[in-house]
Amino acid sequence: MFDLKRFLAECETAVQENDSHVAVKEVVARAVSDPVAVLKALGEPSGGGIQALHHSSALTVLNVVWPPKMTIMPHNHTMWAVIGVYTGRERQYLLAPA
């Protein structure tokens, strides 16, 4: 069962133990392995948007809902990011270096 408070605490602990994406990736992978529980905890999306679930000096956790067929231009986060898809899908196109 997905518990948001526990998930956020586990993410914060993971980034404190290892400030790379590796530890947080493991926490996120466990969470999204039960997508029904994540959806139940976060609620059924009613439209596209970005909701900040957690922010600290070490970590920001966002719940991003992309509407169907939404695209954005290639961009650089300038930091690591872990993306956990719990419903739908994400398609990324990698661009060859110029």
Residue 98: which pLDDT band, with cuts at 50, 70 and 90?
low
Separation of alpha carbons 98 and 91, rounded Å: 21
Q: What is the pLDDT of residues 10-64, one digit of tens each?
A: 999 999 998 788 999 999 999 999 999 999 999 999 899 999 999 999 999 999 9
pLDDT at res. 17 = 92
Residue 69's nearest CA partner among 43, 42, 48 is 48
Separation of alpha carbons 13 and 36, rounded Å: 24
CB neighbour burial string for 12-37, b if at least 16 within 10 angstroms, e if fewer: bebbeeeeeeebbbebbeebbeeeee
Q: Which long-range contacts (CB under 8 A, 24 or more apart) does 11-14 make?
A: 11/54, 11/59, 11/61, 12/54, 12/56, 12/58, 12/59
